[in-house]
Amino acid sequence: MVCGPSRDAVSGVSTHVNQIFGSSLAKTYCLVHFQVGSEGRPESTPQKIVRIVASPLTLLKEIVRFRPDVIHLNTSLVRNAYWRDLAYLLVARILHCKVVYQVHGGDLPSDFLGHNTLGRGFLRWSLAIPDVIVLLAESEREAYRSFATAKPLIVIPNAIDLAEYRAARPKSFEGSGIVLGYIGRLAAEKGVGEAIRAVAILQRSGFDGLRFRIAGSGPYERELRESVDREGLQEVVEFVGPVFGEAKARFWESIDLFVFPTAREGLPYTILEAMASATPVLTTRVGCIPDTIQEGVQGAFLSSRDPESIAGRLRAIVTDRERLRSMSSEALRCARDHYSVERLAAQFDELYRGLLA
C-alpha cells in the first residue's frame, strides 16, 4: 500500500507515487494507493478536523480490507506532514505491517521539533517505529545517522521518465543571447524574485542579451509581475504559465540555463528534468541538490541568494560558452546514467523483497 497525495495533484511526491505505479513494480507487486492530505482543497476548520480524525481510521479500514504486507508511507519532515503521517505510522504498526518511511525533504532531524531534549527524544522515538527509512541523498543519511536513528537508512534518489527526453542533445550556445529559465511553483522561497532583480542589475550595467522565461504559477506570481514592471523588464522577462507534456518539453528546449536560487528543497524534479534536457543548472547548496549537481560539471552553485551575488555569477557563467557546452553534455550524461525510473524501481524491488523475506 503506497500512501501519498492524490495521483492527480501537481507535486513532487505525487510524481514519485505515479512513477511507482507506472514502473515495473506494478507488475511484480499488487499496489494499492491510499490518498493522504487535502491536496490544497479549500477546507473550513471543522472539515479539516474531521478529515484529520477520520483519515487514520480510514487507513485502518483499508489495511483490514487489503491486508498489505508493506505500507510505503511518503512523507516530509515538516510539521503538518510529520504529525499527520505519525498517525498513519502508528496505525500501520498496530496492525503489524512492515513500514517503509520515505522522507521527501523538509528539515533535518537535528533542526526539527526544536533543540530541547524532549522534542529530540520524541522524534528519535518516532523514527524508530518504521522498519526502514528511505532518504533522497547521502547527505541526509549522514544527518539521520548522526541523530542516532536506529533503523536502517536507505538512499534512493528521485528519478524521472527519461523516455520523455530521448530526443535531448547537448546545447550549442551558438546564438548571441542567452535564455534563462525557471519552471515550478511561484513561491517566495524559490528565489525567482532574486533572479529577476539579478537580471535587472545586469541590464542596468549594460550587460544585455539575456532573456528570462518563467513557467509555472503560485502565490508569489503577482509580486513577481510587479517586480518585472518596477524594473522595466517587460521586454526581457516572459511569464508563460504552467506547462505540461509537449509544452514542457518545448520549454526546456527553449532555454539555455536553469536558474533556481531556492532556499529549501529535497531533491527537486526540476533539477533532474533540467539535466535530462541537457540544461545546465545555476542553483543553491540546499537539501539534496549538492548530491546531484557538481560545481562546474552539471552546473554551478550560488554562494548567496542576494541579487548582486546572483548577477555576478550569471555574468561569469553566460560569457563562458565553452564551459556551458561542457556542463550541458555532463548534465545529460548524469541524468541518463543515474536518474532513470528503471533504477528507482530496481532499488525499491530490492527493498520490498528484503522486507518480505
Determine the average pLDDT of the residues in 322-328. 97
pLDDT value at position 245?
A: 87
Query: How many Å apart are CA 301 and CA 295, to the nearest integer?
Result: 6
Percentage above 90 pLDDT, the chain:
79
**Arithmetic mean of pLDDT, 141-162:** 91
What mean pLDDT is predicted for residues 320-348?
97
- Write the pLDDT tens digit of every residue in 74-115: 999 988 899 999 999 999 999 999 999 999 988 899 989 877
Please name the residue ranges forming H helices in 108-261: 117-127, 138-146, 192-204, 221-231, 245-254
Amino acid at 85: D
Q: How confident is the model at residue 47, as a pLDDT? A: 67
- Entry field: residues in the chain: 357
Per-residue pLDDT of 180-232, as tens digits, reads 999 999 999 999 999 999 999 999 999 989 999 999 999 999 999 999 999 99
Angle (CA) 128-133-137 rounded to 5° is 135
Superfamily the domain 163-338 falls into? Glycogen Phosphorylase B; (3.40.50.2000)
Average pLDDT over residues 141-169: 91
Looking at residue 341, its pLDDT comes to 96
Give pLDDT, residue 333. 97
Q: pLDDT at position 43, please?
A: 60
Residue ranges of domains in the chain: 2-159+340-356, 163-338
Q: Output DSSP code: residue 136.
A: S
Over residues 276-307, the pLDDT tens digits come to: 999 999 999 998 899 999 999 999 999 889 99
**Distance in angstroms (rounded) separating the CA atoms of residues 339 and 344:** 8
Q: Which fold has domain 2-159+340-356?
A: Rossmann fold (3.40.50)
Q: Rounded to whole angstroms, how far apart are CA atoms 23 and 136?
A: 18
Cell matching residue 104? 521527501
The DSSP annotation for 31-52 comes to --EEE-S-TT----HHHHHHHH
Kindly tell me if the per-residue pLDDT of 148 is higher than 80.
no
What pLDDT is attached to residue 9? Answer: 81
CA nearest neighbour of 267 among 107, 154, 82, 105: 105
Question: Same CATH topology for 2-159+340-356 and 163-338?
Answer: yes
- For range 171-178, the mean pLDDT: 90
Which pLDDT does position 10 carry in this prediction?
Answer: 74
What pLDDT, on a 0 to 100 scale, did the predictor assign at position 298?
Answer: 97
Taking only the tens place, the pLDDT of each residue in 179-189 is: 999 999 999 99
Q: How does pLDDT run across 11-56, given as a tens digit for each residue? A: 889 999 999 999 999 999 999 999 987 655 566 777 667 777 788 9
Mean pLDDT rounded to a whole number for the chain: 92
